[in-house]
């Protein structure tokens, strides 16, 4: 058996790394939006329904 990872194995790790990065960024965006949401809704004039739609876009 060859102890070196195959090209397909390397691609799997790259894909896993990219997915992890995207999920981390999405979680960060969701957390930031939940903190800034009340002030942002007052400043921009969004209703609670519109804010709910905005929050659900990150679900």
pLDDT recorded at residue 26: 83
Which pLDDT tens digits describe the chain residue by residue (59 residues)? 556 667 777 899 999 999 999 999 888 888 888 888 899 899 999 999 999 898 888 66
Say what the pTM is.
0.56
Q: Which of 3, 2, 54, 5 is nearest to 30 (CA)?
A: 54
The single-letter DSSP state of residue 4 is S
Residue 34 neighbours by CB under 8 Å, 6+ apart: 55
Assess contact for 31 and 55: CB atoms under 8 A: no
């Amino acid at each position: 058996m060859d102890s070196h990872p195959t090209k397909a194995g390397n691609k799997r790790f790259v894909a896993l790394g990219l997915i992890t990065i995207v999920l981390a960024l999405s979680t960060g965006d969701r957390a930031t939006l939940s903190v800034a949401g009340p002030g942002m809704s007052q400043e921009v004039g969004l209703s609670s329904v519109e804010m709910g739609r905005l929050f659900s876009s990150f679900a």
